[in-house]
Amino acid sequence: MSEDSRYPYTYACDFIRSIAGHTSGGTKLSRSDASQIVSTIAEINGINERAVFEKLADHYLKYEDELFNKAAEELVAAMARR
């Protein structure tokens, strides 16, 4: 996985963004916001930051299809409420 420049940071941030949910305008958090959240959690708990990003990225990649489908459903619901 090391040749994928998006691993682990982009995938981990996208996982956090998927948890935050979606509106008709897209995700509620930016990748920068998500990165700051992960970094702060790692720091508070005294955990190696990269290890946290890797764990989250691995989870995201394992459940990517399900997370995508959930996001699509949220987006459709948000658009319907407009």
* 42 and 49 Cβ atoms separated by less than 8 Å: yes
Give the pLDDT band of residue 2 (cuts 50, 70, 90).
Answer: low
Residue 30 lies in a domain: yes
10-58 pLDDT, tens per residue?
Answer: 999 999 999 998 877 778 999 999 999 999 999 999 999 999 999 999 9
Residue 1 lies in a domain: no
State how many domains the chain has.
1
For the whole model, what pTM was predicted?
Answer: 0.83
Q: Which domain, by its residues, includes 24? A: 9-80
Residue 64 lies in a domain: yes
Residue 4 lies in a domain: no
Residue 2 lies in a domain: no
Residue 15 lies in a domain: yes
Residue 35 lies in a domain: yes
pLDDT of 70: 87
